Amino acid sequence: MTLDFGQQLIDFLPNLHRFALSLCRSGDIANDLVQETCEKALKSQHGFEAGTRLDAWLFKILRNCWIDRLRRTKTRGTTIDITEAPDIVGTDGTRTMESRLMLNATAMAMDRLPDDYREVLLLVCVEELSYAQTALVLDVPVGTVMSRLARARVKISQLMGIETVSARSSDKSGSQP
């Protein structure tokens, strides 16, 4: 069970690293977050409920690590935008990664989004979590996931020039806060 768990963890590293970068946008901090997440996951693997999705569980741990870090160091105010400071990169080759990613117009647009838009887009569109799982990771109601996702998709479509659209008001039933 443990070997499987460890292997799954290793297999999932690209996803964790990707999510970490989208949260903190710094190669070094992302590495720290992933490492911290893996340590916690290994320690609490027996507490992981079989039958639930490992990916959502790991994302949640990672996000909690990030929130803890923000609380401890109040980094948010000084987080350096990687597009403005391309020299701020990790020690093991992240410069190549970020520049390659940033060449991509979509990634550039993602980078300009507010944090809560970017994370919900990544979890749903890239990691393909369900709304319910995403709500679990972000610790918000499903309705909030839906409204954020809709606004984020409208915003990024404008940034990417897909189509000039304006957001519509939400459901008359008022499904989100």
Instruction: Name the packing angle between helices 94-102 and 27-43 (round to 10°).
Output: 110
DSSP helix/strand/coil, 50: strand
Phi, psi of 154 (to 5 degrees): -65, -45
Query: Tell me, what amino acid is at 95?
Result: R
- Check residue 45 for interaction with another protein (CB under 8 A): yes
Contacts 24+ apart (CB under 8 A), 38-43: 38/9, 40/65, 41/9, 42/5, 42/6, 42/9
Residue closer to another protein (CB basis): 36 or 55: 36
Name residues contacting another protein, limited to 93-112 (CB under 8 A).
Answer: 93-94, 97, 100-101, 104, 106-107, 110
One of 23, 26, 27, 62 touching another protein (CB under 8 A): 27
**Contacting residues toward another protein, per CB under 8 A:** 2-3, 6-7, 9-10, 13-14, 17-18, 21, 27-28, 31-32, 34-36, 38-40, 42-47, 68, 72, 90-94, 97, 100-101, 104, 106-107, 110, 121-122, 124-126, 128, 130-131, 146-147, 149-151, 153-154, 156-157, 160, 162-163, 165, 167-172, 175-176
